[in-house]
Amino acid sequence: MTARKTRGQFGMEPDDTFTARARRQFASLRQVPKGEGGTAAPFPDDWFDLPAGALADFGAMFYLASMVAHHRRRTLAAAVATLEPALRLGQYHIFRSNGFPRAFVTWAGLDAARERALALDHRPLAPEDWNTGASIWLIDFVAPFGHFDQMVEQLAQQPKLDRLRALWHDAEGEGYRIVEWTRAAPGDPIDQKMYDAARFAEILKAA
């Protein structure tokens, strides 16, 4: 299985017009004080003119997510809200076999406040939250055909990635753990830890 090259890599800044526009829009949203009503920033005129390649990738992610029970429980609006920021920011990988989509991941860089909101308060990320800090989180990790090991191996090849976190839900979608993968340096063995919410709260407090 190969990873299709996307607009962004972990720890790198995509610079094409499509993602640059999204970054500017989401940055403007972050400037609006919380609790104020109204639209924070008008959408650019061509905001909804997604390139054909982006639309194809959007469709592939929806298709793969529809095969996983945890993701099928989402409403259409919730699925769009989760996948669209990753698509616009180029913060996703689609893994393909013989050219066909088989799995995908999306990720965000979070600050401590957003980590707590996501992992402990169960608050979905707003579009402007996706690049607020240096702590990299897998937001969606979707592999309906069982390519988990290959995905982890390819993610490990990212030279700037020394820590990665994710929420890991049980089969029923009711319980969860925080998973953390770390390594001391590129090429070193990867250490995996799992935390419950109480232990992860202690880790955030101590950081």
- Quick one: which of 147, 131, 141, 148 has its CA closest to 167? 141
- Lowest-pLDDT range of 14-18, 73-77, 91-95, 110-114: 14-18
* CA 204 – CA 121 distance, rounded (Å): 13
Rounded mean pLDDT of the chain?
Answer: 84
Q: Which domains are present in the chain?
A: 2-32+43-157 (3.40.630)
Phi-psi region of 187 (alpha: psi -120 to 50; beta: other; left: phi over 0): left
pLDDT at 38: 52
Q: Provide mean pLDDT across the span 13-41.
A: 71
In the predicted model, is pLDDT for residue 44 greater than 80?
Answer: no
Count Cβ atoms below 10 Å from residue 181 Cβ, excluding itself: 19
